[in-house]
Structure 1
């Protein structure tokens, strides 16, 4: 049987790849200005922080929506670094408690699950990621049931682009040997995988 490429994932990978280059160039330019003796102004710090945040988000999205193979390992420290940068100046903090390196297929499912969980924390909170799933707590939970029905492959949903992760998660989780199951109680949620 001939392998059919996942065109959507390849497009996602290509877009992220093409954006990383210009963002890295901006970061390098800021660093060169600093090395040239230009004083660090609040504006320069804002540009540097913005480039760092954008690079981390692009790396996250590339894993979540890009092409993946079980042969490609992602280093534990790289995942922690991405999530640490995403936590900075954010209402959401991430606590990565998964030991060791993961392959891209497993990590893609976890990153998509993180994106789903983020939508449930409109006022922010903490997301803890373990090998068995994701736990989140915040001041307020916003559970949109038809999104989560789609994420758990219980029903098809008419989703906006901002919620596409709910449609992609069941497929990615299945490929990683995971089955999403949501439980909610007392201002927290637990997404078993």
Structure 2
């Protein structure tokens, strides 16, 4: 396999972030243009509602990517579980066809575990092209933190190259903005001495990870 550099991976992650931010930011720009030219007070009020909605979605996505991709400055080595829950809930609530089921037993998770959980959940959300339920669970026992994500709906779509990237089977030279987050998680889990799994049927995508418990890391 051809090795990818940190710069290559960072560039691809930035590409993914820009791709996901383009729609809500573009909506803000279009809304501002419409607001400037619209004279009807009722339509101007409607434009303002759409602007507020797009601004909220943009902020939610940026906060999500900050913790899922970035160094997440401001957090310690352990992150309160409500942080990833709130981030995922904000993304799910923006789409009426989606539902979140949260079953994380631990009050806090290690920063690597949170990063893995959010990225696996993002892959699950991408798979729910026609809506459905995203179930997220995590618990720590016997020195290990186990994470499970299940995306279930009427039609679940999953690009197998993402599964290959998760499990380290994709040549890094073939990475794209779509598969880069999965490759990043593979590298992170490998570094921590954990494992990743994925299973796919037309009705459900199941993703899992096992990481050493916080007291065993390092």
Residue 84 of structure 2 corresponds to which residue in structure 1?
Answer: 79
Residue 117 of structure 2 corresponds to which residue in structure 1?
Answer: 110
Residue 44 of structure 1 corresponds to which residue in structure 2?
Answer: 48
**Count of matched residue positions in the alignment of Structure 1 and Structure 2:** 167
Residue by residue, what CA displacement relative to the aligned partner does 1:85-142 show, whole Å, maximum 9, x if unpaired? 2112324333222131223211111111122223322222211111131111011122
Gaps of 5+ in 1: 1-5, 27-38
Q: Which runs of 4+ in 1 moved over 6 A?
A: none
For residue 148 of structure 1, the aligned residue among 150, 163, 168 is: 163
Q: Could you say which structure has the higher strand fraction?
A: 2
Rounded to whole Å, the distance in 2 between the matches of 1:137 and 1:64 is 22
Shift of 1:186: 5.4
Residue 59 of structure 1 corresponds to which residue in structure 2?
Answer: 63
Shift of 1:151: 0.9
* 154 and 48 in structure 1: CA distance in 2 versus 1, 3 angstrom threshold: same
For residue 101 of structure 1, the aligned residue among 91, 102, 108 is: 108
Rounded to whole Å, the distance in 2 between the matches of 1:84 and 1:72 is 23
Are residue 134 (structure 1) and residue 131 (structure 2) matched?
no
Shift of 1:60: 0.8
Gaps of 5+ in 2: 1-5, 29-41, 139-146, 210-218
Rounded to whole Å, the distance in 2 between the matches of 1:177 and 1:45 is 47
Compare relative contact order (CA 8 Å, sep 6+) and give the higher one, 1 or 2. Answer: 2
Are residue 160 (structure 1) and residue 180 (structure 2) matched?
no
Residue 179 of structure 1 corresponds to which residue in structure 2?
Answer: 195
Residue 32 of structure 1 corresponds to which residue in structure 2?
Answer: none
Does structure 1 conserve the Cα–Cα contact (< 8 Å) formed by 2:157 and 2:202?
no
Q: Secondary structure of 1:161's partner?
A: coil
Rounded to whole Å, the distance in 2 between the matches of 1:189 and 1:64 is 20
Rounded to whole Å, the distance in 2 between the matches of 1:176 and 1:116 is 21
